[in-house]
A and B are shown apart, each in its own frame.
Chain A
Amino acid sequence: MIASERKPLDEILGQLEGEANVFVVACDGCSAGCQVSDPDHTEQMVKELEEAGKTVTGVARVEMVCNSGLTALMLARHLSSVNQADGLLVMSCGVGVQSVAAAVEKPVHPATNSIHLGGFQGLWRSEARCAQCGDCLLDYTGGICPYTACSKGLTHGSCGGPMDGKCEVDPSIPCGWERIYQRLAALGKADRLQEMPLRLRDFRNMLPMKERRRTSLWALELFEEPEAAEEAG
């Protein structure tokens, strides 16, 4: 499975700025198991959105949002409420967010951060993946993950390498940042590439907890400081 945790409300509202009408997509798979997108927490999310003045045009529950074919079918059933929305809030792992982005020509926003666990990587593996970076930035990138779509995992735009839309590393794959640019341009949001906030990946999110506990920094923080404090005090 892919573990996920919900992003703070402030961050979600920040993503939805200027979008009064929101359609919510909630996954019944892994992220429901993580108590992020199960019916209760989805209802809670809708309530928080409405309290913040948003109109929720509809909610779609999808068995596994990472199943891109199924997601497209399920969203088709909600076509009119999807069309009424300015953007979609997706409560799933990063793969699911990308699967929704591929299905609709609207801004999609991740409601969660995907956390690294290893193992199962989502059903829609071949075309779009999630590296479980723990700080999902699909909102900035039009629903295309720069960590997996760009060969260098760049977070502030394309390198100098793309040729005719292809990546310098492998001309048989499209440049991830050109895809992001085209997608944002189609949504009329390309100018956000001008003001991308500083995005530094936090690689601690990639460490399993047990291993994190074995670092010397952990030992220093945990054991040396209280001892030093005792000596001083």
Chain B
Amino acid sequence: MTFKETLANQDWVVTCEVAPPKGVDMKHVLEEAELLRGKVAGINVTDLQAAAMRVSSLATCSLLKQKGLEPIMQMVCRDRNRLALQSELLSAYVLGIRNVLCLTGDHTTLGDHPDAKPVFDLDSVSLLRAGQGLIEGKDLAGNELESVPTDLFLGAIVTPCADPIEPQIYKLHQKIEAGAKFIQTQAVYDVGAFEQFMKRIPEVKTPILAGIVLLKSAGMARYMNANVAGVTVPDDLIKEMAEAGEKDKQAKAEGKKGGHKVNTSIEIAARLIRDLKPLCRGVHIMPLGWGHHVPAVLEAAGL
């Protein structure tokens, strides 16, 4: 089933992201994707995430497609102008890729080539419009296409726990107006804040999948609170992770088996997923290197 069909047919869907390697060995990313077979409605492939140079989302999605998996290609506006972006949408289509998540993208200065030229010829909204235009048979300049990628399925992101939230809501409406048919969100740790967000947009019928980022440690949680826009990990979760970390340390000192941190992380994610279930159409899991733990998370969440 395509991601679009799954969204239309199922009340609750799960997506998960994988990241292409910095190098040419695709074994690891393909293995991570393989773990998700039959368990998720779509697999997002990040596009030079964190502005770091690596294998493209397009190439990785194409490999997933060849293996019969359902890729969701992420596309940022940092590295290509409007010609290249539109061309890549068409290129993805001819390779069988149908789902595209459109983002503005982190600035080049935050990545591993901070001296590179940032492009941002388009932004998330105009990229969606470009994609929607192609679906309707025209490019951004208004030229007719000879053949049309009618089944392109476009999505966008939102940061539901941002402060202030109004600009996010305005932009979400712009994105939906521009052609977004599904929404995946930035990480959610505060279910109450997410519920507030959902209550403010009762008119939005576009399916929203809440973002789940696996917490690896208390330190990571604190780091995100200080550095990641619109993400707040509540203190009680940080405490839970810190206690698990202590137990691991103790176990190590006593020569026993640890794994408390991993188990706690899985438990927290599963709990968030269960709590989010009545509020939205699904979850989007971003494991950040812990892809091998995703099956356990899904199992613990009862999915």
Residues of B within 8 A of A (CB): 82, 103-107, 109-110, 118, 120-126, 129, 140, 157, 159, 164, 166-167, 170-171, 173-174, 177-178, 186, 227-230
Contact = CB atoms under 8 A, between A and B. Distances in A.
A213 interface: no
Contacts, number: 84
Contacts of A181: 164, 166-167
B123 A152 contact: yes
Contacts of B228: 163
A159 B125 CA distance: 10
A151 B107 contact: yes
Interface of A: 151-163, 168-170, 177-178, 181, 185, 190-191, 193-196, 198-201, 203
A191 B170 contact: yes
A139 to B, nearest CB: 17
Nearest to B186: A160
Nearest to A154: B123
Given A177-B167, A181-B164, A198 B126 contact: yes
A160 B186 CA distance: 9
B126 A155 contact: yes
B171 A193 contact: yes
Contacts of A199: 126
B125 to A, nearest CB: 4
A152 B178 CA distance: 20
Given A163-B227, A181-B164, A168 B170 contact: no
B107 A157 contact: no
A155 B129 contact: no
Contact of A200 (B109, B122, B171): B122
B186 A193 contact: no
Contacts of B120: 152-154
Given A159-B124, A168-B106, 14 more contacts: A152-B123, A154-B120, A159-B123, A160-B103, A163-B229, A178-B164, A181-B166, A185-B166, A190-B166, A193-B167, A195-B177, A196-B174, A198-B125, A200-B140
11 contacts: A151-B107, A154-B120, A156-B126, A168-B110, A168-B229, A169-B107, A177-B167, A178-B164, A191-B170, A193-B171, A195-B174
